Chains A and B, each alone.
Chain A
Amino acid sequence: MRAELVLMGRRVDMSRRARRRALVVGIYAVFAAPIIGLWFVDQWHSTGTYIYRAAMLACWLFLGGYYSSGLVKPSTGKGPRRSYSTPSLLLLKLRMYPAMAADDDRPYQNDERELHQRDRAHYQAYQAIALVVVTLWIVAYVGMEKPHWMAAIQMTPFQMFYGLTLVTMMLIFTLPQCILLWTEPDMEAEG
């Protein structure tokens, strides 16, 4: 895990656990806003994919895990794709262009300890996700069999299930990284 977050050209020190926890709380609080807001736009009909994209954006900017950027190193151990083309003007203005990639992927590879941390975080996340997946299926069935239960929240079973699936997807993509950021101790104290 990295101790610094590079955001629009600025380096933010994230070595302290309190900061990392604040980031995790902030990310999930921000996620709640589009999930609720987009329901009022079109009941997630076509805007549902934005929630999934928001999760991927959070991974790219802050969390890492799936991308070479972010706090957690990529779980695959692969660095960014080498591109010799000029970044777009927007990325240059936002100072979000990728750094010139080196020839080897070593800076992005996890060592033995980090691999163990990654696996442990996925084990912990799996418990929650398995429970959510089972709940998802039970809610889908109850929604079909007892639609009048949904009348109180003015939601059809499909909408309910679709919304829960989106939340599950968002959790699947972010939970292991968030567990790592939440549980790892202060880096100064460790060193």
Chain B
Amino acid sequence: MKTELRVAGFTLSMGTRRRRRALVIVIYLFLSALLCAALLWAPWALGSVLWFLFLVGLINRVFFGGLTTRGLVGPFASDIRPLWFRDDPPPASRIDRWIWRRSPSRKDLQADEREDRLRDRVHYRSYRILTLLTYVVWGLFAIVRMGPFLGMGSLPFDFALMVAAAVAMLALTLPQAILLWTEPDMETEG
């Protein structure tokens, strides 16, 4: 896991767990607010695949990492690497050198044994949470199918769809968030 986050030219230290937890809270609050706003004012946006993929992709790319080579958490899969990734030695042309400097090194992309175990452990935790959430989605859609529920009228399909979207969003971000949440301060570790 990286200790620094680079956003729009600024470098933020993320070595302390408190900061990482704050980041996780802010991102999930933002996503929750966005989903609630979509439910209230623009239900059509709940299912926009492009919007969803863009947003989750952006969050993973800029903040969380895991599924991409950028972000705080290193790539989960060892075969993830940028298209421009080249083997040593660095290329000779000036343009290639410019790209080379921006690309991560092979060392950054390779996880050691401890990181692999940590990755597997957070996926195990995430799996259990995802199981619970899928139960919720199943239950909600069962209620939608039933129609009026406990005299409260039928549950709107938009709401169930929002929950499904939230679960899908969590499925793509939860392991990274758990890693950022649980790992101890890096300064004290070093």
Contact = CB atoms under 8 A, between A and B. Distances in A.
A138 B175 contact: no
B121 A119 contact: yes
B127 A129 contact: yes
B124 interface: yes
Contact of A126 (B127, B135, B165): B127
Interface in A118-146: 118-120, 122-123, 125-126, 129-130, 133-134, 136-138, 140-142, 144-145
B161 interface: yes
Interface residues of chain B: helix, strand, loop or mixed (majority): helix
Contact of B144 (A75, A158, A168): A158
Contacts of B145: 45, 158, 162
A118 B138 CA distance: 26
B47 A141 contact: yes
Task: Give the size category of B's interface with A.
Answer: 20 to 34
Contacts of B134: 133, 165, 168-169, 172
B127 A122 contact: yes
A31 interface: no
A75 B127 CA distance: 12
A172 B47 contact: no
Interface string B34-75: 000000000000110100000000000000000000000000
Given A141-B161, A165-B141, A169-B138, A130 B120 contact: no
A165 B168 contact: no
B23 interface: no
